[in-house]
């Protein structure tokens, strides 16, 4: 609470440095509360995608459930029904069904 009152007093001051300090504080708040957690989550999703292997059951971003039949560099072939295979981009895999059950 003291930090907030100090920052408010500095903003009311008219000193040229107070504006710069307020901007730095705002950028730091955005970084620690918005940008950093999002980057951490993206890294976790990337690790989960790299850990997928043939035979895993997955959910795509479009909500399609399927089983991985083939994995390429930038694509996956998943079987959504007996004999029905579709090719999707790796980045469209949302989660494995085991991950979805745990949440």
Over the stretch 71-87, which tens digit does the pLDDT of each residue have? 998 999 999 999 999 99
* Closest-CA residue to 97 (of 66, 58, 45): 58
Report the SS3 class of residue 17: helix
* Closest-CA residue to 4 (of 24, 16, 22, 28): 22
Mean pLDDT value across residues 32-40: 92
- 46 Cβ neighbours under 8 A, 6+ residues apart: none
How much is the pLDDT for 82?
A: 94
pLDDT digits (tens, 9 = 90+) for 2-11: 766 766 665 5
Whether the model clears a pTM of 0.75, i.e. scores above it, the answer is no
How much is the pLDDT for 87?
A: 96
Domains and CATH numbers, the chain: 2-47 (no CATH), 53-102 (2.30.30)
Cβ–Cβ < 8 Å for 69, 54: yes
């Amino acid at each position: 609470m003291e930090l907030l009152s100090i920052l408010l007093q500095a903003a009311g001051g008219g000193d040229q440095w107070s504006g710069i300090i307020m901007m730095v504080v705002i950028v730091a708040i955005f970084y620690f509360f918005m940008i950093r957690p999002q980057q951490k989550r993206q890294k976790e999703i990337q690790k989960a995608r790299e850990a997928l292997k043939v035979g895993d059951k997955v959910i795509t971003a479009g909500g399609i459930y399927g089983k991985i039949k083939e994995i390429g560099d930038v694509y996956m072939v998943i079987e959504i029904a007996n004999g029905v295979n579709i090719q999707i981009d790796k980045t469209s895999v949302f989660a494995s069904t085991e991950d979805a059950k745990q949440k």
